[in-house]
Amino acid sequence: MNDHQEKPMESRTSATAVDIRNLSFNYGSTQALKNIGLNLKRNEVTAFIGPSGCGKSTLLRCINRMNDEIAGTRITQGEILIDDINIYDRSVDVVKLRRQVGMVFQKSNPFPSSIYDNVAYGLRMRGERDSAVLDQSVQESLESAALWDEVKDRLQESALGLSGGQQQRLCIARTIAVKPTIVLMDEPCSALDPIATAKVEDLIWKLKHDYTFIIVTHNMHQAARVSDKTAFFYMGELVEFSDTSRMFSNPSVKKTEEYITGRFG
């Protein structure tokens, strides 16, 4: 994995996938994000790090508008562009947006139905009825999520019977089954053991050629292992954003260095 990380970042010259401009965000009257500006490139893995409560999840949920579901939230300033479209424009259909911007939650949350139905859910919601197409998609997605071998004989069993790590990989499989272009992951490995964590990280590396990943993590090693770029947040502000290798070897802001070396947070 480390050899991956050593790859020269400059070689990626892909276009911008997500462009966050001067974004401020409020939960009711409390401001959670202050004037965030971030430019995320296509097919890169970006890690969001920072102490608890600094707004990482909030920003992540802004990118597929999951915050819409929470009453009293609003963008007070700025915008987010995906493929040059302001996703907070009135004309945007959130359903279509979310089909392109998938999300894996911190706590694995499979539906209380069979493994197969979990993975097929997204496609079915899109009106896919052809069982051959569904079968193929389920298999491919589970294979990409490195889960296929473990569950191929029990696809019709309840997803709730899987272990925590398997459930999390199932959620990843479910997310990539609908072929989004951007995948948001909120601490996907926080409940996993090192082996399962390694599998998820492998997965990200394997899939990054097809997807743009944004991953929130509290694990500095993980950030260093999987990401191309890292953004460090503190109290709702973006403190530093740069190549991961630079950030972890030579951070430009003192706060970042303190956090990375574990002196606070």
Partner 1 sequence: MASEKSSNAKTSHKFQRSGFSYEQLIRFFFASNAGLTIVILTLIIAFLLKEGLGFFPGYRRDLETYRIAGLEFVDISRNNLTSHEQLTSLLNRAYYAEVNGKSARELKRTEEASALYNAFTDQVGPTRDLIINNPQARTDANAGMKAALLGNYEKQREKALLKPINTPHLTAKEREGLLESLRTRPPEATEDPPLVAALAQEFVAAQQKHAAPLQEFRTVIDDFESAGFDLGSIIMEMTESVTVTKEQLQTADILEKDRKTLLAAASGEKDPVERERLLADARAALADKPDVETPMEALLERKPECARLHEALKTASSDALKKIPSRLSDPDARRLLGAARKAWPQFIADLEAAPKKISAWKHTDPVPLSDAILSFLTGKKWVTGGEWQDFYGILPLAVGSLMIAMIALSISIPVSISAAIYVNHFAKPREQALVKPVIEFIQAIPSVVLGFVGILVFGTILREISVMDAFQWVPGFPIEERLNIFTAGCLLALMSIPTIFSLAEDALNNVPSAYAEASEALGASHVQTAFRVMIPASFSGILAAILLGFGRVIGETMVVLLVAGNRIKIPDFSEGLGAFFQPSHTLTGIIAQELGEVPLGSVHYRALFVVGIVLFAVVLGINATAHHFVNRAKK
Ligand X SMILES: Nc1ncnc2c1ncn2[C@@H]1O[C@H](COP(=O)(O)OP(=O)(O)OP(=O)(O)O)[C@@H](O)[C@H]1O
Least Cα distance to 102 among 195, 221, 17 occurs for 17
- Interface with partner 1 includes 148 (CB under 8 A)? no
Least Cα distance to 220 among 191, 184, 257, 253 occurs for 257
- Interface with Mg ion includes 57 (CB under 5 A)? yes
Q: Under rule CB under 8 A, which residues in 108-137 are in contact with partner 1?
A: 109-113, 121-122, 124-126
- Interface with ligand X includes 53 (CB under 6 A)? yes
Closer of 57 and 175 to Mg ion (Cβ): 57
Closer of 16 and 73 to ligand X (Cβ): 73
Q: In what order do the strands lie in the sheet with 45-49?
A: 101-104, 182-186, 212-216, 45-49, 229-234, 237-243
Least Cα distance to 67 among 41, 28, 37 occurs for 28
- Interface with partner 1 includes 95 (CB under 8 A)? yes
CA separation for the pair 47, 50 (Å, rounded): 10
Closer of 71 and 195 to partner 1 (Cβ): 71
**Tokens, residue 34:** 């202050």
CA separation for the pair 256, 239 (Å, rounded): 7
**Shortest reach from residue 84's CB to ligand X, in Å:** 26
- Interface with partner 1 includes 188 (CB under 8 A)? no
- Interface with partner 1 includes 99 (CB under 8 A)? yes
Q: Which residue type, as a one-letter code, is found at position 138? A: V
Q: Do residues 142 and 117 lie in contact, with contact meaning Cβ atoms separated by under 8 Å?
A: no
- Interface with ligand X includes 235 (CB under 6 A)? no
Partner residues linked to 184 by β-bridges? 103, 214
Cβ-based neighbours of 166, under 8 Å, separated by 6 or more: 147, 150, 151, 196
CA separation for the pair 133, 230 (Å, rounded): 37
Question: Residue 169 binds what, of partner 1, ligand X, Mg ion, none (CB under 5 to 8 Å, by partner type)?
Answer: none
CA separation for the pair 207, 211 (Å, rounded): 6
- Interface with partner 1 includes 254 (CB under 8 A)? no
Q: Tell me the number of residues near ligand X by CB under 6 A.
A: 11
User: Pick from 4, 98, 246, 255: which binds partner 1 (CB under 8 A)?
Assistant: 98
Question: Residue 259 binds what, of Mg ion, ligand X, partner 1, none (CB under 5 to 8 Å, by partner type)?
Answer: none
- Interface with ligand X includes 125 (CB under 6 A)? no
| Of 40-48, 52-60, 206-214, 243-251: span binding Mg ion (CB under 5 A) | 52-60
| Of 37-45, 49-57, 83-91, 195-203: span binding ligand X (CB under 6 A) | 49-57
- Interface with Mg ion includes 217 (CB under 5 A)? no
Question: Interface with partner 1 by CB under 8 A: which residues?
Answer: 64, 66, 69, 71, 95-96, 98-99, 102-103, 105, 107, 109-113, 121-122, 124-126, 171, 174-175, 178
